[in-house]
Each structure stands twice: as C-alpha cells, then as structure tokens.
Structure 1
Amino acid sequence: MLLPTEQAEAAPVLRTGSQSGDVWDLQFRLDLLGFYNQKLDGVFGQQTATAVRRFQYQYGLPVDGIVGARTWSMLKKVSVNQRELDILAHVVYGEARGEPYTGQVAVAAVVMNRVQSSQFPNTVAGVVFQPRAFTAVDDGQYWLTPNGTAYRAAMEAVRGWDPTGGALYYFNPRTATSDWIWSRTQTMRVGKHIFAV
C-alpha cells in the first residue's frame, strides 16, 4: 500500500484506443458512479467513450469523450479509485462498525464532503490521514479488516448518498474531549455519532 501522504500523479489524456491501467482506473470510477456497466478491461473502447460522454454531460464538462485534465479533475473530486475505496471502507469500519447502516454511510459521506471542501486536503488519503482527524487512525482501529457492509456504505457515499446534509465533522458526545466540536452546527444524530458542519 502506498503511504497516505503520497499524492496521485496526473493521469495522461485518454481517448478511444488507449490501453493502460489508467483506463482501468477510469472504468472503475465510472462503474462506481453508475455510468459504465461493462467488464473492466483497461481498453478505452466505444462503451468507455459513451460512459465518459455521459459523465461529462452530467457534470457540465465539454462533451467530447476524451479524458483530459478537466475530466480527470472532476472524476477525482466526485469518485474514488480502488485504493481510495479501500481507505474509505477502513475508516467506516474503524469508526462506525456496530452503528446503524445510515450512520456508516454518514461517516463515509463526511470524508467525501471533506475531499470536496477547500478547508481540507483534496484526496481521500489526505483527509483520512490528516493528523488527529480520525480516532480510528490514531488508535489503530483503521487497520482492522473492513467487512462487506463497510464497503457498501463507502460506495453509497461515493455515489452521492449523504444522510448528513453536508456535514464535515462527527463526534461521539460521550467520548468527545474537544470543546470546539460542540460549537459546530449539528445536522443530525445517528447511533452514537452527532454530525455537524
């Protein structure tokens, strides 16, 4: 596994005929978002081009079926690759196993909300491994093996389900030691966690 602080390098321009691991990553992201439903094969064919155009249209990008800097930037903002999905599932399992399913999705949604916020790092790894950001990372529970429910919750959050209403924080009121966290506007409570902006 790559170190959490490593940033993803800029991906190359991809178009019909491209064949690489970057195409596999593209297909994975498009599949996760519901735009691509074919076998992931690392070959940029007509089905991949159609999925790219559908993604570009939905996100207000130029619809050309070519994956350049703008399309990659948007894809990375609203989706994850396999490694990032693994990180997200580890956070969900470490922080919220035993919580209601909605609460598990809510934890993943907070991570995704932070990725999209200018107040936090712009990658899943950057958010998760930011110092003192998540108790499960600090106490080692992050390294437990996530179950299928944690992966499903992570995928639902990536696909856009945010039961928190845009929360950037959550905490357990029974164990929270920071007075600052109580000053945040609370959006909801699920199980043992309060979610806040």
Structure 2
Amino acid sequence: MEKGKIILISFLIFAFALLGGTSTYLMYNKSNEVIEVASSSTNKSVQQKLKDLGYYKGGVDGIYGLLTREAVTNFQRDYGLGVDGIIGPETLGALGINNSASQSSSDLYLLAKCIHAEARGEPYVGQVAVGAVILNRVESPEFPNTISGVIYQPWAFTAVNDGQINLEPNDTAYQAAQDALNGWDPTYGCLYYYNPETATSKWIYSRQVVITIGKHVFAI
C-alpha cells in the first residue's frame, strides 16, 4: 500500500512537471510524510543555484527528488536556516531567488525578526537604523541582493548564530521594519553596526564611524 502511494504521488508530480505548472504541489518524503514543494519553475531556479554553489549534482529538471532535497537541507544547514528541506521564502531569499507572490510580506516579517533579535531594548530610531543597515547591504554590490540573503549570510549577525532570529517580533519591530522599508535611514547609508561593549572583531573597529545611536555604533 505504501509503495502504491509513493508511485501515485510520484506520477502526479511528474505529470505536473510535464504540464509546466506553476503552483505548489505535494510530495511524499523518506519519513512517509506529505510535504509542500515549490513549483516546477521555482525548483529549476533552486536546482541551478544549488548546482552553481556546488550543493546539487543532478539535472536541472524542476522535479523535487531526493538529490534536490539533500542539496536543500545541506544549504540550509550551512547558512543557518531551519533545516527542513522545504523551499520556503527564507531559503529562496538566501539563494537570491525572488518568489514575488509572498516576497513583500515575508521581507517585512524577516526584517522585523532581525530588528527584534538584534536591537530590542534600543531606542526606536536605533531599531529603524538596524533595519536600514540591512537594506543598505541589499543595495550594496558587496553583499547579497535580498533581505534574506543579507540576514542569513554566514556570520553576518549574532542573532542568527545564537538562534535569537527565531523569536517572534513585537509591534515595535514591525513598525521599525516598515519605516526602514519606506526609506527612513538614520544611519546615512551605513553598512555596519556594532556594540563596542560586546564586539570582539578587531576588523569592525577599522570602519569609519558615522553615528552612534543607543548602544550601537554605525559605520561605513
């Protein structure tokens, strides 16, 4: 019976791929669970990106098979993402792939999460400033070009490394994120910030200081 279920679902996935569908669909995984998988076109983009990064060795066919799942989970693990094998907004963002249907709301949510994790307890303008630094990095050629890519860049943010990024943001963090997205930049274009009381990187002190807000020093 289980074998028949696997064959049936695999057939549906294959048929969907042949039809060039663009909606999400379901797949049966190794743990005998049905999981949601991205569209065929999105899977192709993911496979190509993972192939370019050295994670994926299979063909770029848009089918979410075991090789794709293994590549996704390895990428998630290396980039500090939740390791579930699902191609969600955060994983797409870290790969630099735009999933426009949910991009706007997921960007606001993720930015609010990072602001809350990194700057809760700071004055409101300081929370907006942290969001602005993230957005400034998105626009800089020196960093990934998505909010998720910037936030989950390895070792970029302490809150990602220690898991505080998983805390739910409060209303203040949401408002600060929205203000930053609306263009408010209290840092005047800064790409870095640090707390001199806790910073351990010698390199960060080499950056030109622009402004201090609360406990954070903002620099370029």
Q: Decide whether aligned partners of structure 1 residues 113 and 9 sit closer, same or farther in structure 2, where only a CA change above 3 A counts.
A: closer
Asked whether the equivalents of residues 96 and 144 of structure 2 are also in contact (C-alpha less than 8 Å), the reply is no
Asked whether the equivalents of residues 138 and 147 of structure 2 are also in contact (C-alpha less than 8 Å), the reply is yes
Partner residue, 2:166? 143
Partner residue, 1:184? 207
SS of equivalent residue, structure 2 residue 130: helix
Map residues 109-148 of structure 1 onto 2, 5 A cutoff.
Answer: 109-148=132-171
The C-alpha deviation readout for 1:122-160, integer Å capped at 9, x for no partner, is 000000000000000011111111001001000101111
Report the AA paired with residue 110 of structure 1.
V
Query: Is the counterpart of residue 175 in structure 1 residue 208 in structure 2?
Result: no
Partner residue, 2:96? 7
**2:121 pairs with one of 98, 107, 118:** 98
Q: Decide whether aligned partners of structure 1 residues 169 and 9 sit closer, same or farther in structure 2, where only a CA change above 3 A counts.
A: closer
Matched residues, percent identical?
A: 53
Report the AA paired with residue 159 of structure 2.
A
What is the alpha-carbon distance in structure 2 between the residues aligned to residue 7 and residue 126 of structure 1? Answer: 6
SS of equivalent residue, structure 2 residue 127: helix
What is the alpha-carbon distance in structure 1 between the residues aligned to residue 154 and residue 114 of structure 2? Answer: 14
Structure 1 length normalisation: TM-score? 0.63
Shift of residue 8, structure 1, vs aligned partner:
2.7
Partner residue, 1:37? none
The C-alpha deviation readout for 1:51-89, integer Å capped at 9, x for no partner, is xxxxxxxxxxxxxxxxxxxxxxxxxxxxx6111111100
What is the alpha-carbon distance in structure 1 between the residues aligned to residue 200 and residue 156 of structure 2? Answer: 13
Shift of residue 103, structure 1, vs aligned partner:
0.2
Q: Decide whether aligned partners of structure 1 residues 86 and 182 sit closer, same or farther in structure 2, where only a CA change above 3 A counts.
A: same
Report the AA paired with residue 7 of structure 1.
G
Number of aligned positions between the proteins: 131
Map residues 145-160 of structure 1 onto 2, 5 A cutoff.
Answer: 145-160=168-183
What is the alpha-carbon distance in structure 1 between the residues aligned to residue 130 and residue 182 of structure 2? Answer: 14
Partner residue, 1:57? none
Q: Decide whether aligned partners of structure 1 residues 193 and 124 sit closer, same or farther in structure 2, where only a CA change above 3 A counts.
A: same
Ranges in structure 2 where 5+ consecutive residues have no aligned partner: 1-87
Structure 2 length normalisation: TM-score? 0.57
Map residues 40-51 of structure 1 onto 2, 5 A cutoff.
Answer: none
What is the alpha-carbon distance in structure 1 between the residues aligned to residue 214 and residue 99 of structure 2? Answer: 39
- Greater relative contact order: 1 or 2 (C-alpha under 8 angstroms, separation 6 or more)? 1
Ranges in structure 1 where 5+ consecutive residues have no aligned partner: 12-21, 26-79
What is the alpha-carbon distance in structure 1 between the residues aligned to residue 116 and residue 94 of structure 2? Answer: 21
| RMSD, matched Cα | 1.5
Q: In terms of Rg, which structure is larger? A: 2
SS of equivalent residue, structure 1 residue 150: helix
Map residues 81-92 of structure 1 onto 2, 5 A cutoff.
Answer: 81-92=104-115
Q: Decide whether aligned partners of structure 1 residues 150 and 9 sit closer, same or farther in structure 2, where only a CA change above 3 A counts.
A: closer
**1:164 pairs with one of 171, 187, 204:** 187
SS of equivalent residue, structure 1 residue 81: helix
What is the alpha-carbon distance in structure 2 between the residues aligned to residue 151 and residue 104 of structure 1? Answer: 10
Report the AA paired with residue 201 of structure 2.
S
